[in-house]
Amino acid sequence: MAVTSISELRVDADRLWRRLEEMARIGATAAGGVHRLALSDEDRRARDLFRAWAESLELAVSVDRIGNMFARRAGTHDERPPVLLGSHLDSQPTGGRFDGALGVLAALEVVQTLEDHAVETAAPIEIANWTNEEGARFAPAMMGSGVFSSRFGLSDALNAADPDGVTVAEAIEGIGYRGKAAVGGRRLAAALELHIEQGPILEEKECDIGVVTGVQGARWFDLTIVGEEAHAGPTPMPRRTDPVAVLGRWVVDLYRRVERDFAPHGRLTMGVLEAMPASRNTVPGRVRVSVDIRHPEEPALDDLEVCLREEAERASSARGAEWRLEPVWRSPPVRFSGRCIDAIRSAAERCGYSSMSLMAGAGHDSVHTSDVAPTGMIFVPCEGGVSHNEAERITPEQAEAGANVLLHAALGLAG
């Protein structure tokens, strides 16, 4: 496509879609999703493919000590801090093809479009592939960007282990992506991340682009309820100190309070439940459940946490059980840079796309880059708002729209 002005510049939508499809073949599942856990062999293959594409454009690829990858295109004033574009390539165990990958490959398409049309930017542009965004194999989530922003310590992150006892350090070494570069500690002019919405709002509003103004806060806990093991047959129901019964009351009462007192923004999720010992004919002595609470306002998060504790005490005391709530991870609410928000909104208008402002309900690497740089996010709709699911879908036109907005927002910020 010949262009006569920068405002007419557009990405190659077919090339972007081909790359998305090729990346989706790595770790592909029978149901159409991907299984590409952080620092697995599938992650290595995805990284290798991204590196090969970046090096074909003569971008300078570097890897830091937590495995974050950066592909740099020089600017005419190369001493300036770079504008960082990107996301992640790891997935949930049964994840979708676009969560994360769209942001990395659209950033690559932005850079290739600039190369195709010999467009130079004053500031350098870097593409990031962050390590372990999902947190599905190693906790905490958004690990690589968290170390980059100094929110997490490097040694703590490297020593984190998966359920099989493999540490992050061992896994990075195993796939050959433990780099020598220092993690973070350098200036960024701005950071932009393109992502699928992972919610239903844009689709319901028939809107092309979400201009993300911030990310709601999240806190993770493990709740353990301790009762008493007993035989399933001889022990009468009233004589049992059954942690499952405690958990049942706690769940019902807590969900009722969240839905009543924290609507419409409060979120409560329990994704991992475990009873011990796991025997069919034994009353468990202990139950453990993961707890995820979210809200855009910090005071409301505090109140939600109080609710967790109040309901745990009420349910446990009724059965004579004990409980403990252990913090695992927390991420405060984030407000993105006005300059980046304006650049994204202007880019959408320039490209002729409808847009609306909204808050992100999920955590993203942009939460951490906002600690060290002006940051913004671009959302595109996904079918039915479905994500973290093999049924996750977007259209080629939606991918193209997001990439075009990313292109022009990056040009506005890079000069």
Q: Give the span between the Cα atoms of 122 and 295, in whole angstroms.
A: 39
Q: Give the span between the Cα atoms of 324 and 295, in whole angstroms.
A: 23
In angstroms, the Cα distances linking 267 to 107, 206, 219, 223, 303 are 31, 24, 10, 17, 12
Report pLDDT for 288: 97
Q: What percent of the chain has pLDDT over 90?
A: 94
Q: Give the span between the Cα atoms of 168 and 139, in whole angstroms.
A: 10
Residues 85-97 have pLDDT tens digits of 999 999 999 999 9
Q: Give the span between the Cα atoms of 59 and 61, in whole angstroms.
A: 6
Last residue of a domain, one of 275, 304, 331: 331
Specify whether 44 is located in the same domain as 62.
yes
Burial class (CB in 10 A: 0-12, 13-18, 19+), 155: exposed
Residue keyed to tokens 């620092």: 39
Specify whether 37 is located in the same domain as 116.
yes
Residue 65 pLDDT greater than 90, yes or no: yes
In this structure, what CATH number is given to the domain that contains residue 355? 3.40.630.10
Nearest C-alpha neighbor of 109 from the set 396, 413, 415, 412:
396
Residue 2 pLDDT greater than 60, yes or no: no
Residues 6-52 have pLDDT tens digits of 889 999 999 999 999 999 999 999 999 999 999 999 999 999 999 99
Specify whether 307 is located in the same domain as 337.
no
Identify the band that residue 81 occupies on the pLDDT scale cut at 50, 70 and 90. Answer: very high
In a domain, 407, yes or no: yes
DSSP code per residue over 71-116: EEE--TTTTSPPEEEEEE----TTB-SSTTHHHHHHHHHHHHHHHH
Q: Give the span between the Cα atoms of 210 and 192, in whole angstroms.
A: 13
Specify whether 149 is located in the same domain as 43.
yes
Domain that holds residue 155: 6-216+333-414
Residue keyed to tokens 């958990």: 247
Specify whether 397 is located in the same domain as 266.
no
In a domain, 185, yes or no: yes
Specify whether 192 is located in the same domain as 45.
yes
Residue 363 pLDDT greater than 90, yes or no: no
Mean pLDDT of the chain: 96
Residues 137-162 have pLDDT tens digits of 999 899 999 999 999 999 999 999 99
How many domains is the chain partitioned into structurally?
Answer: 2
Specify whether 338 is located in the same domain as 322.
no
Specify whether 20 is located in the same domain as 101.
yes
In a domain, 58, yes or no: yes
Last residue of a domain, one of 298, 316, 331: 331
Specify whether 41 is located in the same domain as 92.
yes
In angstroms, the Cα distances linking 120 to 79, 87, 123, 395, 411 are 14, 23, 9, 30, 9
Residue 1 pLDDT greater than 70, yes or no: no
In a domain, 357, yes or no: yes
Residue keyed to tokens 């989530």: 141
In a domain, 18, yes or no: yes
Q: Give the span between the Cα atoms of 116 and 60, in whole angstroms.
A: 18
Specify whether 190 is located in the same domain as 116.
yes
In angstroms, the Cα distances linking 138 to 57, 132, 161, 292, 316 are 32, 7, 6, 16, 30
Residue 190 pLDDT greater than 80, yes or no: yes
Last residue of a domain, one of 331, 352, 379: 331
In this structure, what CATH number is given to the domain that contains residue 325? 3.30.70.360
In a domain, 290, yes or no: yes
In a domain, 1, yes or no: no
Specify whether 225 is located in the same domain as 202.
no
In a domain, 380, yes or no: yes
Q: What percent of the chain has pLDDT over 70?
A: 99
Specify whether 10 is located in the same domain as 102.
yes
